[in-house]
Structure 1
Amino acid sequence: MISKYRQQFNSNFTHQKYSLFLQNLTRELLPISFRVAETPIFIPTGLQEKLIAAGEEIIHLIRRPDFKELTSKSIPDQWKVPGEEKHPHFLTFDFGICKDQNGELTPKLIEMQGFPSLYGFQAHLAEQYIDSYGLEKMASFSPFFNQMNKEQYVHLLKEILIGAHEPHEVALMDINAPDQKTAIDFYLTQKYTGLKILSLTDIFREGDQLFYEDNGKKIRLKRIYNRLIFDEIENKTHLFEQSFDPRIPLDIEWITHPNWFYRISKYTMPFLKSDFVPETRFLNEIDPLPTDLENYVLKPLFSFAGLGVVIDVKLQDIKDVKDPHNWILQRKVQYEPVVQALDGRVKAEIRLMYLWPENGEPQLCINLARLSRGKMIGVRYNKDFDWVGGSVGLMEK
């Protein structure tokens, strides 16, 4: 999006350089099971400023004294977890890059989560783009906001994940951690912080305490970096019998608490009124329905990775919804193909990633970018394309 850097990058691009970049990305790490794009995004100053402003507007809502009351119905009864803390430790906001009525680039909110993202991987990814492609010859770039550098970022990440505990007392937990598509992020997080990586069934309960075994030694867990999404385990709750049920009172600290996954989500979007947020309403509150349904997207509240989303909405799609209070109707966002590939233009989405320390303020730290040629950004909608997939936004220092 910064044309001079885009032109330099594209004119110097070769498939051999991309292949070397991918090799460097996974050297001494795990293979990556998702597609990484050929290029980073070069974020211009004007768009950077709008992204920051958009994020601040959302945080203003989250910081409202009545936010928990406002989102009290967001958590499904069967997935409420006791012991919720006063705020989440992670905030991630996804923005489609569009054009406004003046033809200028502007972000439009697509999704939001009070849940962690690829906080380990993105720092590593940016480093590899810069090193493997020799981008330091073009300019001094950074994926970080607020003049943060990698050392400061890793220090803050470790402070939030480990806290006052020893690293072996903290575990990154997922349903089957080594087999997750994002496992490379888990291992980089371990490299940066020293925490353990555990699957759900690696953990066992005694009373209200949690433990795991390491070389035959029983070790008590004091904090869990939670990467478990309840949607993924909805039909596998028998695993709780082999491990522990997060929904019972436990002497454990959650980073971040599972309830925030629901509180800060698609459920929150109807409460946001902003130029950076497309019109969004709960389906059960819309009367009459818009006559131009083709200009809207129908989304289930409780799903992830784009599952269940209806792009080309018809009246019958709405009639087929059995629980309209669990759906939103959102005005379509028109992504602008803003990234020049070798053979045309590609759409882009940028995720702002915040860290929120226990007794501090939310800090915008780093970003994640995704490139797409399909109807939606996700991997399943971009099969067999190149110049698509996971990426990162780089900004001039």
Structure 2
Amino acid sequence: MIQSIRAAYNAAFTPERYAAFLNKIEADYPGQLDFRVAETPVFVPKAFTNKLLSACDAIVDTITAPDYRALTGAAIPPHQRVPNETPHTTFLAVDFAVCRNEQSGELEPQLIELQGFPSLYGFQAYLSETFRSIFSVPETVSHLFGVETNADYVAELRDLILGDCQPEEVILLEIFPEKQKTRVDFALTKHYVGIDAVCLTKIRKEGRALFYEKDGRQIRIKRIYNRLIFDELEAMENLQAERGPTGFHLTDDVDVVWVGHPNWFFRISKYTLPLLNSPYVPKSYFLSELTTPPADLENYVLKPLFSFAGSGVTINVTPADIEAIPVAQRGNYLLQRKVRYEPVITTPDGSGVKCEIRLLFIWPDGDAKPKLITNLARLSRGEMIGVRFNKDFDWVGGTIAFFEQ
């Protein structure tokens, strides 16, 4: 998107350098990278960054409004409500498609999704350094906001996750973390913060206290950096996945501090989209509130409110798709106006690739609002962003954006 940097990067790019880039990740964290990393970062000009920041201001205004929790109470499924909810989310991730405004012809962001849940906060710091170590990335761009260096960023992340606890008193919670595609992020979180990824099935409960075993010792868990998504857990249970004995269920009333309380995954989600008002937010409707579908239904996508990684999304919606959903279940679906991704990333062969930028916030206790701090990006040649739509393509996958300073 910054044409001068893009031209220089592409001219210097070789498959051998990309192989060296992947080899470095494998050497540093053997067997941990289980998703495709793209051949390039994204280089974002100031004008586009300012539009992203404007869009985020509107989102932050909504989620910090006094009535936000009342408006989103129904977002949490009753059987998945976790006690001791925090006053606000600890993490905020906001996904924008890079689009072109049909009237002005200018590039602009369009909101795709948002979530009150942590993303690859560990891996992205490492990825930025790895790109810089192999490829030429000028010092005039940065992946960070509000801090100057990765060391500053890691210090804030450590403080946020650890609080006043020792690292061994804090865990990263997942289900079978060694099998997760994002496990490289768990390894980087261990490197930067010092905490272990612990499987839900390995936690023992005594009264309201939780424990895990480390080096033959039973250690009391005081804080949980939550990376466990209910959807995935329930899918595993539905498939009758093997689970070890555990006395702990996610909805138990336990004596821990949640760093990223599970309820905020539901509140700050697709459920929030109809509450937002910005030129950078496509119009969205709860399906249950529409007496008549839009006449231009072909310009909308149908999304389940509670789904993960794009599952269940209908891109080319028809009246029959809507009719197929029982009336009682329509409150669990969202109709969102389509956005058209612009193929703004030019590859060395001259073809264009679509881009999505996820801005990552932290919200420490006591702060009035969340703080933008870093980002990730994803490149796609398929109909949608995501692995299943980009098989066998190059110049696609996860990456990071560097913003003009």
Coarse TM-score class (shorter-chain normalised): over 0.9
Cα root mean square deviation, aligned = 1.3
Distance of 1:87 and 1:27 partners within structure 2: 39
Q: Any stretches of 5+ residues in structure 2 without a counterpart?
A: none
Greater CA deviation, 193-202 or 277-286?
193-202
Distance of 2:52 and 2:136 partners within structure 1: 27
Counting only pairs closer than 5 Å after superposition, residues 203-282 of structure 1 correspond to structure 2 as 203-237=203-237, 239=243, 242-282=246-286
Distance of 2:376 and 2:236 partners within structure 1: 30
- Secondary structure of the residue aligned to 2:129 is helix
- Secondary structure of the residue aligned to 2:121 is coil
Counting only pairs closer than 5 Å after superposition, residues 18-57 of structure 1 correspond to structure 2 as 18-31=18-31, 32-57=33-58
- Secondary structure of the residue aligned to 2:248 is coil
Match of 2:130 in 1: 128
Distance of 2:72 and 2:55 partners within structure 1: 20
Distance of 2:376 and 2:28 partners within structure 1: 23
Deviations 1:110-139 (A, max 9, x none): 000000000000111111111111324xx4
Distance of 2:375 and 2:137 partners within structure 1: 18
Counting only pairs closer than 5 Å after superposition, residues 296-311 of structure 1 correspond to structure 2 as 296-311=300-315
Establish whether residue 285 from structure 1 lines up as the match of residue 293 from structure 2: no
Shift of 1:287: 2.2
Match of 2:89 in 1: 88
Shift of 1:25: 2.4
Structure 2 residue corresponding to 1:340, chosen from 346, 364, 383: 346
Match of 1:176 in 2: 176
Shift of 1:148: 3.1
- Secondary structure of the residue aligned to 1:390 is strand
| Amino acid in the other structure paired with 1:336 | E
Shift of 1:295: 0.7
Closer, same or farther: CA 152–369 of 1 in aligned 2, 3 Å: same
Establish whether residue 325 from structure 1 lines up as the match of residue 326 from structure 2: no
TM-score (norm 2): 0.95
Establish whether residue 313 from structure 1 lines up as the match of residue 317 from structure 2: yes
Q: 2:201·2:245 contact (CA, 8 Å) conserved in 1?
A: no
Distance of 2:25 and 2:404 partners within structure 1: 22
* Matched positions, count: 395
Match of 2:376 in 1: 368
- Secondary structure of the residue aligned to 2:87 is coil
Deviations 1:348-374 (A, max 9, x none): 000000011111241100010000010
Shift of 1:289: 1.0
TM-score (norm 1): 0.97
Counting only pairs closer than 5 Å after superposition, residues 137-156 of structure 1 correspond to structure 2 as 139-156=139-156
Distance of 1:355 and 1:275 partners within structure 2: 24
Distance of 1:261 and 1:381 partners within structure 2: 25
Distance of 2:236 and 2:393 partners within structure 1: 34
Deviations 1:228-286 (A, max 9, x none): 00001114458595241121211011111000000000000001111010010000111
Q: Which runs of 4+ in 1 moved over 6 A?
A: none
Structure 2 residue corresponding to 1:356, chosen from 363, 366, 372: 363
Q: Any stretches of 5+ residues in structure 1 without a counterpart?
A: none
Distance of 1:285 and 1:371 partners within structure 2: 34
Establish whether residue 58 from structure 1 lines up as the match of residue 59 from structure 2: yes
Match of 2:104 in 1: 102
Q: 1:30·1:183 contact (CA, 8 Å) conserved in 2?
A: no
Greater CA deviation, 310-319 or 237-246?
237-246
